[in-house]
Amino acid sequence: MDSPEHTPEPPDAPPQIGIEVIKDHLKRLPAKPGVYRMFGRDQELLYVGKAKSLKARVANYAQMGGHTQRIALMISLTASMEFVVTETETEALLLEANLIKRLKPRFNILLRDDKSFPYILIKRTHEAPQIVKYRGAKKKEGDYFGPFANASAVNQTLDTLQKAFLLRTCEDSVYAARSRPCVLHQIKRCAAPCVGLISPENYTALADQAADFLRGKAVDLQTRLAAEMDAASDAMDFETAATLRDRIRALSVVRASQSINPDGLEEADVFALALEGGQSCVQVYFIRGGQNWGTRAYYPRHEKDAAPAAILSAFLVQFYDTRPPPRLVLTNHMPDQATLIADALELRASHKVEIRAAQRGTKRDLLIHAERNAKEALTRKQAETASQQKLLADLAKELDLPAPPKRIEIYDNSHIQGTNAVGGMVVAGPDGFMKSQYRKFNIKDETLTPGDDYGMMREVMRRRFSRLKKEATSAGKPIADLETYPDLVLIDGGAGQLSAVLEALASIDLSDKDLTLVSIAKGPDRNAGRETFFRPGKAPFRMPANAPVLYYLQRLRDEAHRWAIGAHRAKRSQDIKKSPLDDIAGIGPARKKALLHRFGSAKAVGLAKLSDIASVDGVNQALAERIYGHFHNS
C-alpha cells in the first residue's frame, strides 16, 4: 500500500500553541538542571520555572490532564519557550528568583513592595566617626547594623543612640566648616568633636560603645557604664556621673520599647504566613543582636489555590535575592524544597543557613506572635481592598469611565520662586498607593521663566509620555497595552495646567483621546469640598462636598503634593549644604575650614581683600588669586 503523500503546511497556517509547542521543545531538551521561560503569543512572559532536570519537568506540562486550572490555562497560552542550562539546581534556583523579581511573570508567585531595607552605618573614614541611616551597597568603610524593617525603626534607634552616645550625624563638609558647636550639642545630642570639646580618643570610645550596643552587648555595656558612674560619683565628679546615668537610662528605654526581645535568640529572620480567601500576608520580624529591629508585612501576588508551602518557598528565594540571610530563618510553615533553598542561601551568604519551623519554646512563641500579626494585617488589608474597589467603581461612574481604573497617575510641581524646581508623579491602584512607582522629575529646561508652572508641567508630561512611547515601540505593542500606562491622569491645577498638558501631549503625537485627563483646582481652602474639576472638551464641574469619591481624589492630590514638596526640599537641602568654596580647585576640607575660621562665611571670603586671603594658613599667593578671581569673575 502506497504511503500517503505528505502535504506541506500552508504558509498562513496558525502557529502552534499549547501542548504542541511544549512537545516540540521537549524533543531537544537535556536532562540537566536549568531555568525555563514560557511566553504567550505577543511575547508576554507567562511563567519562569527551574528544574533539576529540564526534560523531566517540561515533560509534565506535555501530559494531558492532571493539571490545576491555573497551570492548564498557562499551558494553553504558551506560544514559545526559552531555556538556560545551569551547572546545579542551586544555581537554577538563584537564577529563577532573579528573573521572577526582574520580569514579574503573570503566573508566578510575586513578592511585592520590594523596597530595600535601611541600615545604621557608623562610618570609620574620618577621625570622628559619623552615625547615619544608610541604604544601598555596603561600599563605604565602617560598621553596618541591620537590616531594620523600616525607616521609623532606624530613626527611633538613631535618636536613642544620639542621646546615649552623643555621636555626630553631620556630613564631613559641615563638620569641617564648624567654628562653634551646633544646636545638637546644645540639646545634648552631640559631643561636638568638630570644635574639640571631646578628645578624639574619647569620641572613638563612644562610637565603639554604640557599636557594642548594636551588636547585642547591651547588658555588658550597661554594667560597665554603671561601674563607671559609681566611680565618678565616688570621685565627686557628679557631672560625669549624671552623663553616664542618662546614657544608661536611654539604653534601657530603647530595649524596653521593643515589643519583642526573645531570650537566647541573637540573630534570625522570622516569617509567618496567614492565608485567607485566596489572599496572603507574610509578616517578617528582624532579630539582630538579641533585639527586635522592626517588622514589615508583605502581600505576595499569587493564584487563589496556591499552597502555603509554595508561597513561602517563592517568597523566601525572592526576598533574599539581594539581601544577606541570617544564620537562622524561622517559618510557621516549612517551605517547599527547604533544603535546596538553604543551600542556595548558604552559597550567597558564605555561612551556614538553617530554615526551621519551631515547635516549642521561645522560637515557637515568636512565630505564634508573628502569625497573629499576619492574620490581623491581612484582615485590615482585605477590608481596605474592598473599600478601595468600591471607591474606584464610584470614581469610574462619576467620571464616566468604561471600567474602574487600575492605574491612576497624579502630577504636581514644587519650587520656591522658580528655584530647585521638581515635578512629582505618584501612582495609585486597587491596592492603594504604589510607592515603588513614584517618580520625580528635576526640571531641566533652562529657557523656562522661573516659577513658570505651566512650562514645568509641559516638561514633566512630555518626558513621562515620550518614555512610555519608546517602551511601547521597543516592546512592539500599542502604548495602551503597557502595564505602566495610566487609565486616569490627575493634574493638581486648573484649566491652565490642563491646557499645558494637552500642549505637551500634542508635541509627541498624543491627545486627550489617548488618555483620560482630569485637573483638580483647589477651592478657597484645601479640602473644603469646593474643588473644581476640568476635563478636555467638557464644562467644569464640582462634586458634592460630602462625596466619598471627592475625599478620595483629595487624598490622591495631597499625596502628589507631599511627594513633590519632599523632592523639592531634598534638592534644596543639597544646594544649601554646598558652599561656593567647593567649586574652587585646590580647596579641600582643611583649607575650607581655615578660610571659614578666619572670615566666618563663604560670603565674607568673597568680600575679603586679596592680601587678607593670602594671609590664611595653607593658602599661597596663587590659590589666593584663584579664590579672589572666583568671587570677582576675573
CATH classification at residue 600: 1.10.150.20
Residue 29 shares a structural domain with residue 60: yes
pLDDT digits (tens, 9 = 90+) for 273-300: 999 888 899 999 988 877 778 888 999 9
Residue 252 shares a structural domain with residue 286: no
What is the share, in percent, of the chain residues with pLDDT greater than 90?
A: 34
Give the pLDDT of residue 114. 64
Q: Is the distance from CB of 591 to CB of 618 less than 8 angstroms?
A: yes
Residue 361 shares a structural domain with residue 483: no
- What range defines the domain where residue 282 resides? 267-381
More confident residue, 592 or 74: 74
pLDDT digits (tens, 9 = 90+) for 119-171: 899 999 888 999 999 887 788 888 888 788 778 888 888 887 888 888 999 88
**DSSP, residue by residue, 524-571:** SSTTSS--EEE-TTS--B---TT-HHHHHHHHHHHHHHHHHHHHHHHH
pLDDT digits (tens, 9 = 90+) for 539-586: 999 888 888 899 899 989 999 999 988 888 887 776 655 667 777 888
Residue 558 shares a structural domain with residue 418: yes
Region 419-444 average pLDDT: 88
DSSP class of residue 116?
P
Region 456-479 average pLDDT: 88
585 grid coordinates? 580647585
Region 393-404 average pLDDT: 92
> Is 373 inside a domain boundary?
yes
Give the pLDDT of residue 158. 86
CATH classification at residue 44: 3.40.1440.10
More confident residue, 426 or 115: 426
Residue 81 shares a structural domain with residue 140: no
Residue 441 shares a structural domain with residue 548: yes
Could you count the other beta carbons within 10 Å of the beta carbon of residue 157? 24
Residue 62 shares a structural domain with residue 92: yes
> Is 390 inside a domain boundary?
no
> Is 472 inside a domain boundary?
yes
Q: Is the distance from CB of 33 to CB of 92 less than 8 angstroms?
A: yes
Residue 171 shares a structural domain with residue 201: yes
Residue 374 shares a structural domain with residue 517: no
What's the structural domain count of the chain?
Answer: 5
Task: Tell me whether residue 477 is exposed, middle or buried, using C-beta atoms within 10 angstroms of its C-beta: 0 to 12, 13 to 18, 19 or more.
Answer: middle
Give the pLDDT of residue 153. 80
Model's pTM, two decimal places? Answer: 0.69
Domain boundary among 222, 257, 292: 257
Give the pLDDT of residue 160. 79
Orientation angle between helical segments 151-165 and 238-257, nearest 10 degrees: 160
Region 217-246 average pLDDT: 78
Domain boundary among 257, 279, 308: 257
Give the pLDDT of residue 328. 93
> Is 66 inside a domain boundary?
yes
Quick one: which H or E segment has residue 127?
Answer: none
Residue 589 shares a structural domain with residue 547: no
Q: Is the distance from CB of 617 to CB of 599 less than 8 angstroms?
A: no
> Is 497 inside a domain boundary?
yes
> Is 13 inside a domain boundary?
no
Residue 193 shares a structural domain with residue 249: yes
Instruction: Label residue 203 by pLDDT band (50, 70, 90).
Output: very high
Give the pLDDT of residue 250. 67
Region 607-615 average pLDDT: 86
More confident residue, 213 or 554: 554
Give the pLDDT of residue 2. 44
59 grid coordinates? 515533560
CATH classification at residue 330: 3.30.420.10
pLDDT exceeds 80 at position 620: yes
Residue 425 shares a structural domain with residue 316: no
Give the pLDDT of residue 251. 67
> Is 433 inside a domain boundary?
yes
pLDDT digits (tens, 9 = 90+) for 19-30: 888 998 998 899
pLDDT digits (tens, 9 = 90+) for 315-354: 999 999 888 899 999 999 999 999 999 999 998 888 899 9
pLDDT digits (tens, 9 = 90+) for 60-90: 998 877 788 888 889 999 999 999 999 999 9
Best CA proximity match to 286, nearest among 207, 366, 177: 366
> Is 392 inside a domain boundary?
no
Length of the chain: 634
CA–CA dist 421, 441 (Å, integer): 9
Q: Is the distance from CB of 612 to CB of 633 less than 8 angstroms?
A: no
Give the pLDDT of residue 8. 44
Give the pLDDT of residue 4. 43
Domain boundary among 103, 130, 151: 103
Region 109-124 average pLDDT: 83
pLDDT exceeds 60 at position 470: yes
CATH classification at residue 430: 3.30.420.340
